[in-house]
Structure formats: C-alpha cells, structure tokens
Structure 1
C-alpha cells in the first residue's frame, strides 16, 4: 500500500489491515506515538518506506518485529543519521536498508549503527555525498551498494 500525500491522514484504517505486507508512507507529518505502536502491531508487515523525518516521533517502545526491508527517504543528513541510529533497536530483523535522497555534498553520513543488526545483508546509500563513514564497521557479509 502506498500513501503519498501532502494532506494529513488518519492512519487508523491502515493499522487495521492485518495482512498488509508492504507500506510506503510519505506524509508531511510524522506518525503519532500511538500510530507508531499500531503500525508495529501489523503482523505481516515486512517492508516499510518512510521519510527519515518521520522517525523523530518513533517511541522508544516501538519495535517492528517482522520488518526485514526499510527504505528511508531524506533530504537532510541529520535526520537520516538520527533514523539510522534507531534501526538496531526498532528493527531487529532488518536484512536490507536503503537511504536515498539528496543531502549536501559536504555532509557526513555514518552507517555504523546498522552494524548491530544480526540479519543485515545489504545496505544501499544514494544520497549525493561521498562522505559515507562506517562501511568498514559492517560485518564482511554485508553488501554496501551505490556509495555516491
């Protein structure tokens, strides 16, 4: 399911779709803490695409136990970095993470945080900066792709 709108939306109907496997949620505002908790409760959700800014409201208790694929869209290195920092706690079964968008060419992006994910096998970074740090901290089994 894809929701890409500039309007505010009510996520309650989405969080009732128990068989939902793929969700692209690109809205102007971040989900509320309650919305995050309800999204975590979707038992079949395995792939999630969101703006990195949405993770600013992710509660510490939110854990996506079934999500294995995550795509973060960003236009700001700081929000991407903050979202990456949350991955090991919030997405313990993550196998693939993608960070795409545009950040200033002189922005550092540290991808060390996903190193704590046991199941991780691929990281894709396409954000317009050559200053990606931390790839060397990832296990040798993790593929790192498209470093600009």
Structure 2
C-alpha cells in the first residue's frame, strides 16, 4: 500500500517536471534565478522604450506647488511600494519582481521626455500596471510633475 502512494507521488513529480521543462517561461539555469533573487545589484534591468511619437506629447499642466503636491499624494498611493520613498526603485515590493523598477534619479529616466513617461504610465508594461483606467489624464500629468521634482532631489 505504501508503495502505491510513493509511485503516485513519483509519477506526479515526473509529470510536473515535464510540464515545467516544456514551458516557454521556465529556465533551468538556476544560477540566473539565484542571481536575480540573492544579489540586489544583479536584479535584471530591462530597457523599456516608449514609441518615438510619444515624445511629442506635452504636459498639459504647469509646474506649480499644487500639481507637485497632488502628484506626491498619487506617488505615495500608487508608486512608492515599488519605486521606493525617494524614487530609487528600491521599494519593498520592487525588489521581489525580478525586474528592478525605474530609478527616477537615473539619467536614462531624467532624459526621457514627459510624453514618453506619460505613455508608459498610461500603458504599463510587465509588472508596471497601465494607469489609463485608474488615473485621469490630469492625475497622470500631476504624477509626472512630481516625478520630475523627485528626480532632482539627491
């Protein structure tokens, strides 16, 4: 009787191994997986580019204390858990995602046009959700206004 339970477990493990090895997303390279989760500095950094035409989108809001403050509130509600309190991409949820969230102090982010960031906020990518249904157009621009101020801080 005990042999039948062992046999069923063995067959189930074999089937699971086969399914995982056939999966497109499965990687048997345990060194890469270990590196992603064991060393903060080796977390994969994917380059996410907005389409070129997104650079032509202009911020509809003026940079003023009211819009910056509103953007900060939105950041604290929706962004800080991944991007961190100070915008370095080191939030508590961000490190566990496999791809490091954007660091708003990084020159690659700072050099992006507002329209490219607006496009990214609107459409999302991977672990970054699309905010077009969650935030109004004005709120997305307020958030970008705050991100620009955050990126200036040391």
- What's the TM-score once normalised by structure 1's chain length? 0.28
Question: Which is richer in strand?
Answer: 1
Q: Which structure would you say has the larger Rg?
A: 2
Question: Which is richer in helix?
Answer: 2
